[in-house]
């Protein structure tokens, strides 16, 4: 539904596709179908005139014929079987990967928005003399950049970001408003960091205080955090600094909101975690893993590559074999749950009773006549 460009900024379809298609996806309008001006991007059901839409989910195919978009991206197969020869109100764009092309178009529109944001360094930002800020860096109002920080070319910090001493931010990063980096945190190129995320807070480490009363002696956390390239970190997510070594987030890792990554963890390249996931300290997660929402892992575990954890699952031991793993108590109506959950504390006893019956039966079967004769 968003109309994203003002009328005088509308862009011809062919130019939009060329500019957006940074991956070189196979994507072109049906020849001769026209070259409408495009101002936005919408779903099949909500896109209106001067917008482009896409069909990636076959279930939505019927929406094609009511779609009011100026252009619609479809696969060649859909074009051949559904659209060719029909009178269409939109320009069909044939593309091998409509969903990916949608992603690239959305990126194009967002880049267009970002390009118009204020540039330069706001006078209310407080920047240490020793900080090295590359050309073309934008720093918003009320940011604080401490001693020894380096920020790479083309990066943009929204209002109220705080970058602790000696931290490093790579090139072309986008820090939304109010991102906090403690000291000694390194972020690679093209990171997207969302508001409220905190990188480099102290890991949770204490030694029992032997002087009694159950007190704790803080283990000051001397390691850092190292974030690879092309990482996105969601709003209010926290990644703690290591105790002695670094906490390490690999390239291309995508973390949603409200995630907690404990100290000394390592997260492999391209692993993605949905919101509310917690990874306890010193756990190592492989490449291309996914952790669905609210999944939790204990500490000091190893998850191998290509491990997929279902939502709300608590991982309490290492997983070395690729695959999908789940552990969720199925919900039900409350009284059904009460009735069935009440049996759980008896499960072990039930198994014992079942075994006893089986033994009895086996004994009955192998000793014919015994049951009735004794």
Cβ atoms of 155 and 179 closer than 8 Å: no
> Which one among 15, 132, 337, 363 touches its own copies, defined by CB under 8 A?
337
> Which one among 6, 32, 115, 374 touches its own copies, defined by CB under 8 A?
374
Ranges within 49-88 binding its own copies (CB under 8 A): none
Distance from chain centroid for Cα 205: 27
Smallest distance from its own copies to CB 156, Å: 13
**Active-site hit among 112, 122, 176, 263:** 263
**What does the alpha-carbon distance between residue 237 and residue 196 come to, in Å, rounded to a whole number?**
7
**What does the alpha-carbon distance between residue 227 and residue 221 come to, in Å, rounded to a whole number?**
17
Residue 117 lies near its own copies (rule: CB under 8 A): yes
Size of the site for its own copies (CB under 8 A): 153
**Active-site residue 142, yes or no?**
no
Applying CB under 8 A, the span of 8-16, 57-65, 79-87, 204-212 interacting with its own copies comes to 204-212
Cβ atoms of 29 and 93 closer than 8 Å: yes
Residue (of 206, 201, 278) closest to 241 by Cα position: 201
Ranges within 218-277 binding its own copies (CB under 8 A): 218-224, 230, 232, 234-236, 238, 240, 243-246, 252, 254, 256-258, 260, 262, 269-270, 272, 274-276
Residue 120 lies near its own copies (rule: CB under 8 A): no
Residue 366 lies near its own copies (rule: CB under 8 A): no
DSSP state of 202: P
304 Cβ neighbours under 8 A, 6+ residues apart: 286, 319, 320, 321, 322
Smallest distance from its own copies to CB 128, Å: 9
Residue 10 lies near its own copies (rule: CB under 8 A): no
Cβ atoms of 290 and 273 closer than 8 Å: yes
330 Cβ neighbours under 8 A, 6+ residues apart: none
Residue 130 lies near its own copies (rule: CB under 8 A): no
**Closer CB to its own copies, 37 or 165, in the complex:** 165
**Closer CB to its own copies, 137 or 199, in the complex:** 199
Cβ atoms of 54 and 101 closer than 8 Å: yes
């Amino acid at each position: 539904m968003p109309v994203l460009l003002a009328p005088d900024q509308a862009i011809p379809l062919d130019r939009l596709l060329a500019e957006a298609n940074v991956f070189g996806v196979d994507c072109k309008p049906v020849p001769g179908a026209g070259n409408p001006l495009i101002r936005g991007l919408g779903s099949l059901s909500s896109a209106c005139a001067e917008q482009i839409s896409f069909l990636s989910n076959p279930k939505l195919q019927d929406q094609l014929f009511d779609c009011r978009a100026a252009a619609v991206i479809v696969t060649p197969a859909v074009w051949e079987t559904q659209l060719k020869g029909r009178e269409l109100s939109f320009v069909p764009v044939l593309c091998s990967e409509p969903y990916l092309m949608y992603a690239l178009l959305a990126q194009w529109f967002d880049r267009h928005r970002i390009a118009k944001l204020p540039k330069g360094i706001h006078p209310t930002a407080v920047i240490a003399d020793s900080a090295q800020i590359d050309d073309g860096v934008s720093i918003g109002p009320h940011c604080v950049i401490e001693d020894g920080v380096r920020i790479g070319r083309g990066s943009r910090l929204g209002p109220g970001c705080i970058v602790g001493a000696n931290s490093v931010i790579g090139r072309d990063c986008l820090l939304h408003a109010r991102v906090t980096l403690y000291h000694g945190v390194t972020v690679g190129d093209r990171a997207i960091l969302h508001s409220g995320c905190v990188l480099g807070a102290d890991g949770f480490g204490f030694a029992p205080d032997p002087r009694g009363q159950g007190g704790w002696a803080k283990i000051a956390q001397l390691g850092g955090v190292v974030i690879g390239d092309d990482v996105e970190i969601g709003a209010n997510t926290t990644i703690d600094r290591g105790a002695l070594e670094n906490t390490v987030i690999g390239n291309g890792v995508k973390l949603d909101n409200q995630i907690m990554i404990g100290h000394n963890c390592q997260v492999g390249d391209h692993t993605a975690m949905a919101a509310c996931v917690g990874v306890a300290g010193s756990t190592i997660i492989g490449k291309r893993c996914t952790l669905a929402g609210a999944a939790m892992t204990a500490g000091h575990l190893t998850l191998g590559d290509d491990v997929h954890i279902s939502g709300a699952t608590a991982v309490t031991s290492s997983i070395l074999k690729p695959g999908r793993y789940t552990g969720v108590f199925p919900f039900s109506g409350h009284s059904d749950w009460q009735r069935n959950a009440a049996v759980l504390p008896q499960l072990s006893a039930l198994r014992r009773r079942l075994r006893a019956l089986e033994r009895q039966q086996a004994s009955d079967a192998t000793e014919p006549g015994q049951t009735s004769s004794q």
